[in-house]
Amino acid sequence: MAGLIWFVQVVHYPLKALVGPAQFSAYHEAHKARTAWVVGPPMLIEAASALWLAIDPPAGTGRLLPIAGLALLALIWIATVRFSIRHHNTLSRGFDSSAHHLLVRTNWIRTALWTIRSFLALFLLYSISGS
């Protein structure tokens, strides 16, 4: 998810500003529909595995890292609902430079949190392989 969110943040979302106004609504609706198929299943799998790890952490790792990972994931979902979905809904009605700017700006929250989660996951894997 960290790699995907960095692509979205640095490449995909900024390029939305280049779509012409006449095509933007159709483009944006197609973007939402296609993106849902790409990010929906991995986000659900991530949520299930984060919950599982928090409930039953791997031997020798303790609960701190899995619970921290679950907390970060909860913040990602909150940011998704609070910011991303709202700004996407505004953009569905047509290009709005303010909504676009806010989408890009607030998506940095999710980008940072998923990046931190990826380092946490790597550290957890390192902990497991070291025991």
User: How far is 131 from 115, CA to CA, in rounded Å?
Assistant: 25
Number of domains in the chain: 1
Sign of CA dihedral 2, 73, 17, 94: positive
- 120 within domain boundaries: yes
Query: Two tokens at 105?
Result: 């700006």
pLDDT value at position 59? 86
Residue 83: inside a domain: yes
- For residues 61 and 128, the answer to whether their CB atoms sit within 8 Å is yes
Cα–Cα distance for residue pair 27/17, rounded to 1 Å: 11
19 found inside a domain: no
The string of pLDDT tens digits covering residues 9-67 is: 999 999 999 999 999 999 999 999 999 999 999 999 999 999 999 999 988 888 999 99
In a domain, 37, yes or no: yes
63-118 per-position pLDDT tens digit? 999 999 999 999 999 999 999 999 999 999 999 999 999 999 999 999 999 999 99
Question: CA–CA separation, 83 vs 99, rounded Å?
Answer: 10
In a domain, 40, yes or no: yes
Q: The domain containing residue 91 runs over which residues? A: 2-14+24-130
